[in-house]
Amino acid sequence: MNEPIETDAGPVDQTSFVDVIETILGRPELDEELAIRLRSVTEYLRQPDDTSRPFLSVLLRTQGKRIEPLKDAMLCLAAQTLQDFELIVLEHNALPVDVAGVREVIERQPPAFRSRIKHLVVEGGTRAKPLNEGIGAAEGHYIAVYDDDDLVFANWVEEFRDAAIRGDGRLLRSTVATQSITPEIWPDRSEGFRTGSWPAAEYPVEFHQLEHLLVNYSPFMSWAFPRSLFFTFGLRFDEVLEVCEDWDMILRGSLLCGVEEIESLTAIYRRWEGGSSSYTIHSIDAWQKSEKRVLDRIDSTTLTLPPGSVERIRELVGFHERMKHFEPIFRGPYLWFPLRVTMKFAGPAAHLAVRVRNRIRRLLVRAR
């Protein structure tokens, strides 16, 4: 039995509160957006006791085509220092043979881990569809998304849990490195890959809300989203988006709930070179359309920005004001192109010049 809700007017029994909402929901003239929010509230109130939940639900998307990277991803989860999580494997648009392959990988996991894995097969829709199915099945206080070809360090879940203690209800963000891999057949003939670079910490350590409006520099597994984002505020991944579904949720979620930062590198985002990825499968047109949809939606709503944003906006507007005399250079077709070319070659040319200078100096020293 859930505890009564404390209000200014005294405790209110949750069952009766749900009844009130249900009555409101029954009104035909009810605003559709409000109805969505109210349904989320009733869903939330009907949830089982929170103490039985795992801390984290990990949504792992796969198409079952990359079994070897999937095995890596699963091993990283099995080796987490904090095992207070469930794993929901979301197999999207997979062939029966690939479904069987994923099922076998799951069945081979150690029993204590295997018992916390759900396997959902999802047909149709965009990349957002399996995520929404996963959210529907998720029991965790927080929800994180992890693709089948990425890696996490042993402290990934633990760092999220520690951050949730500090900033419960906010989105949690850690730092992620990138690493290149290329497809390769391994000695035992399995379809593997070759790692081609040391993990590079190329994304900003700090999260800046305004800069994130320009581009997403926080890969999916940097984040853990609070359950309330989906079950109280009623957000879902946008299934119209072909790509950028992560950026969309990060922007909407961070603007709504705020962000708790984690000063730790907790994962590796693997970039395929020569294989297929979201960058190669989807057209430039699809990327542009998705990006526009994400930004249009954000731009059509009232935003609450985090502390420090006013100063940052003033800086940006002030800079823009000072640069406006140069605007024709950047906007016009004739000056911008040569300027861009010059900028592109300026760095390497300067580097070459320094090397030549140093070589001449060394030769002169030797000659003396």
Partner 1 sequence: MAEARRLVVQSVLYANSTEDIVRAGLAVINSVSWARDAGLISSWVLRLGDCSPEPVFTEESISPLRAAVEESGGEISYTVFGANLGSAAGQNRLAAAGDEELMLILNPDTQVAPDTLSVLARAVREDIGIAEARQVPLEHPKYFEPQTGNTSWASTACALTTREAFDSVSGFDSATFFLYCDDLDYSWRLRLAGYRVVYEPSARVFHDKRLTITGDWPAGAAEIYYSAESAILLAFKYSRNDLVDSLVKAFTKEGSEPGLRAVAEYERRKASGALPTQLDGDHRVAQFINGNYAVHRY
For partner 1, the binding residues (CB under 8 A) are 68, 71-72, 74-76, 78-79, 81, 105, 108-112, 151-155, 175, 177, 184-188, 190, 192, 194-201, 205, 263-265, 268
CA distances from 359 to 61, 209, 238, 345, 352 (A): 53, 46, 57, 21, 10
Q: Round to whole Å and give the CA distance between 206 and 169.
A: 19
Bridge partners (DSSP) listed for residue 269: 178
| Distance in Å, CB of 263 to partner 1, minimum | 6
| Distance in Å, CB of 205 to partner 1, minimum | 6
Q: Between residues 196 and 332, which has the closer beta carbon with respect to partner 1?
A: 196
| Distance in Å, CB of 182 to partner 1, minimum | 10
| Distance in Å, CB of 183 to partner 1, minimum | 11
Q: Report angle CA 93, 97, 101 to the nearest 5 degrees.
A: 95
Q: Between residues 107 and 315, which has the closer beta carbon with respect to partner 1?
A: 107
Burial readout 11-40 (b: 16 or more C-beta within 10 A, e: otherwise): eeebeebbeeeeeeeeeeeeeeeeeeebeb
| Distance in Å, CB of 1 to partner 1, minimum | 36
Q: Between residues 45 and 82, which has the closer beta carbon with respect to partner 1?
A: 82
| Distance in Å, CB of 284 to partner 1, minimum | 30
Q: Round to whole Å and give the CA distance between 312 and 314.
A: 5
> In Å, how far from its chain's centre is CA 165?
21
CA-CA-CA-CA torsion sign (117, 120, 53, 169): positive
Q: How many CB atoms lie within 10 A of CB 107?
A: 10
CB 259 within 8 A of CB 164: no
Q: Between residues 107 and 123, which has the closer beta carbon with respect to partner 1?
A: 107
Q: Between residues 194 and 359, which has the closer beta carbon with respect to partner 1?
A: 194
Q: Between residues 199 and 226, which has the closer beta carbon with respect to partner 1?
A: 199
Q: Between residues 38 and 76, which has the closer beta carbon with respect to partner 1?
A: 76
CB 118 within 8 A of CB 32: no
| Distance in Å, CB of 192 to partner 1, minimum | 5
